[in-house]
Chains A and B, each alone.
Chain A
């Protein structure tokens, strides 16, 4: 990815540019999505905790809870928001602490595969209970 030529401050030297180092020109969207998903998670998590306590963890109570359409819709929203938030957060942690390039990239891949699997599997199970 080439650095924008018209950027006001050039932090890169000529050699770091040819080595493809320095800023990528992207990343603001990552910052914003992290916060947007956080905002959505505040009410959703309070709702989840309250609902779980209300059910008492009992089998029939949990099923009855999830068979109400709006409740399962909210749980689907929560699943997407929390997984998205986790993916973004873990991505930062992996990028911060893993220096070796191939290990960093493969960790990111594995992490994203696992979490997208969780999103799809959890959504399927919620629908299975609800429908």
Chain B
């Protein structure tokens, strides 16, 4: 079957291709989406603990406030805000707004600063 296919041009191999920042941001969008999705069962577990009384909830709270718990939460919250900010940018792109290179380079930094800032606000507020 492969012999029937015409020869097609190859795109540059990923290992030698210098990815622009926008492409890296696109990959991080997907990666953060995977992390957020995999976290959903844990949200369900937290909701379950909440229905099982104060002692069960307290156990979860102690675990979440441990060093590992807090760092995992920080990564998760950053993923959330990154996906949120970059997702809003995607919605503008879908409306054909801000697609030119110059604006896209600026909005890279807006997404990064926005998600870092919001993560900081959460952990200073909590």
Contact = CB atoms under 8 A, between A and B. Distances in A.
B91 A125 contact: no
Tell me whether chain A's interface is mostly helix, strand or loop, or mixed.
Answer: helix
Nearest to A82: B40
B100 interface: no
Tell me whether chain B's interface is mostly helix, strand or loop, or mixed.
Answer: helix
B64 A125 contact: no
B44 A121 contact: yes
B87 A90 contact: no
B61 interface: yes
29 contacts: A38-B90, A41-B84, A45-B84, A49-B80, A52-B126, A53-B122, A53-B125, A53-B126, A57-B61, A59-B57, A59-B58, A62-B50, A62-B57, A63-B50, A66-B50, A83-B40, A86-B33, A86-B40, A89-B37, A93-B33, A93-B34, A115-B40, A118-B40, A118-B41, A122-B43, A122-B47, A125-B48, A125-B50, A129-B50
Interface of B: 4, 30, 33-34, 36-37, 40-41, 43-44, 47-48, 50-51, 54, 57-58, 61, 64, 77, 80, 84, 87-88, 90-91, 94, 122, 125-126
